[in-house]
Amino acid sequence: MAVPNPTITPTGTVLALVGDPLLRDDVSRVAAAAGVGLVVVDEPSGRKAWMAAAAVVLDAPSAQRCAARALPRRTRVILVGSDAPRPDDWQAAIAIGAQHLVTLPGQDAELVAALSEAASHDEAGRGPAVAVLGARGGAGASVFAVALAQSAPSALLVDADPWSGGIDLVAGSEDLAGLRWPDLALQGGRLGYPALRDALPCRDGVSVLSSGRSGADIEAGPLGAVIDAGCRGGVTVVCDVPRRATEAAETALDAADLVVLVTPADVRSCTAAAAARPWVLACNPNAGVVVRGPSPGGLRAAEVARIVDLPILAAMRAQAGIAEVLERGGLRVRPRSPLGAAARRVLAVLAGHPVQEAA
């Protein structure tokens, strides 16, 4: 099994959703003249691909489909057509928030200028996002999410599970001052990461946005805004995701560059992971498993991967004394520990350097 590569849109890349072959050829020719890369797709794989592109070029039918999917408003969206815009074209442009309407080939120069400007303003230094969820309750997803955040150079650890009791208890930041989800009043939109970082508890370079103790729901819009803020801030965003198909959970999965399914090496966990696989892949096709030992029945990591039908990101033996550590001040991951080694492997995949676990 091949380890998935993160589908991070390269800086300066334009996303094109154009059905007509002749119009698509015109867009490709103009993009080449503007010196920008072009990725032609039928549909964006999710909000991450939609937001990460330097610009989006689409025709009216694609605009209507994207509007129906409720993709977020973004800058540098360009509607193209082969004829002068009709009333339904204007309606599509309004629905998706297009800033330009361009007729090709008559307005090549206008599209060249718009694409060149978009490429020059593309956001560089965007940090990656990873979503972590467990095959079943007690799989160790929250612990592994904390290990990932502590193993990254700088990280934002986001609790997307309102029923977890609070990931700050795992990270050992429950006594630190700062905001938790119930303290935030967000309506979506963009956040500035420096202000968010300064408002959150921070321990050992990891800023933590934890759920409260009440089980209050975490809304999808604010969660998406927090993830986007961290990525734009250039840090690694790690989301602890509940194994439950809520809108917030799917927002976190959709926004991730990589989804990590933590699966203990036992038959029940493998069965649960296989059941979750279709939902996970529907949200984000870039997913893999971290196999956690010990295996009471002797299952090997490769066998777990075959059962779940996902690639192996890492396999790890049991972490000695983990229960006591979590009860006495929270996790402090050591680089040479099983958790630390597995976290580094996953971060290497996230950075675009595949590391496949030996079977």
Give the pLDDT confidence of 309-358 residue by residue, as tens digits: 999 999 999 888 888 888 888 899 998 999 999 999 999 998 874 433 33
Q: Which CATH superfamily is domain 13-120 in?
A: Response regulator (3.40.50.2300)
**In 3D, which of 284, 236, 287 has the Cα closest to residue 260?**
287
Question: Residue 150: helix, strand or coil by DSSP?
Answer: helix
Decide if 111 contacts 10 (C-beta within 8 A): no
The pTM assigned to this predicted structure is 0.70
CB 131 within 8 A of CB 259: yes
Mean pLDDT of the chain: 87
pLDDT bin (cut points 50, 70, 90) of residue 190 is low
Could you tell me the residue ranges of all domains in the chain?
A: 13-120, 129-350
Per-residue pLDDT for 11 more than 70?
no
Q: How far apart are CA 359 and CA 353, in angstroms?
A: 19
What CA–CA distances, in Å, run from 232 to 191, 237, 241?
9, 10, 21
- Give the pLDDT score at 316: 95
Confirm if 161 and 211 have CB atoms less than 8 A apart: yes
Averaged pLDDT for residues 39-56 = 83
Share of the chain above pLDDT 90, in %: 55
- Give the residue among 230, 225, 238, 221 at the shortest CA–CA distance from 171: 238
Q: What band does 125 get if pLDDT is binned at 50, 70 and 90?
A: low
Is the pLDDT score of 158 beyond 90? Answer: yes
Reported as a pLDDT band with limits 50, 70 and 90, residue 189 is low
* Secondary structure in 3-state letters for 182-195: HHCCCCCCCCCHHH
Measuring CA to CA, which residue among 256, 305, 7, 290 is closest to residue 142?
Answer: 290
Output the pLDDT for position 192.
Answer: 80
Contact between 330 and 149 under an 8 Å Cβ cutoff? The reply is no
What is the structure's pLDDT at 274?
97
Over residues 230-258, mean pLDDT: 93
The average pLDDT across 144-170 equals 94
Report d(CA 328, CA 182) in Å as an integer: 25
The whole-number pLDDT of residue 90 equals 80
State what percent of residues in the chain have pLDDT above 70. 91
pLDDT at residue 47 tops 80: no
Q: What is the pLDDT of residue 122?
A: 52
Question: For residue 289, what is the enclosing H or E element?
Answer: strand 287-292
Higher pLDDT, residue 10 or 92: 92
CA-to-CA dists, residue 166 to 82, 139, 158, 160, 208, angstroms:
54, 16, 10, 10, 10
Q: What's the rounded Cα separation, in Å, for the pair 209 and 156?
A: 8
As a whole number, mean pLDDT of residues 170-184 equals 91
CA distance 160 to 140: 15
More confident residue, 170 or 50: 170
Q: Check pLDDT > 80 for residue 175.
A: yes
Residue 186: the pLDDT is: 64
Tell me: pLDDT of 5 over 70: no
Q: State residue 120's pLDDT score.
A: 64
Range among 4-8, 225-229, 264-268 rated most confident: 264-268
In this predicted structure, what is the pLDDT of residue 9?
Answer: 41
**pLDDT greater than 60 at residue 36:** yes
Write out the CATH class of domain 129-350.
alpha beta
What is the mean predicted confidence (pLDDT) over 128-133? Answer: 96
Range with the poorest average pLDDT among 72-76, 133-137, 297-301, 307-311: 72-76
Residue 272 has pLDDT above 70, yes or no: yes
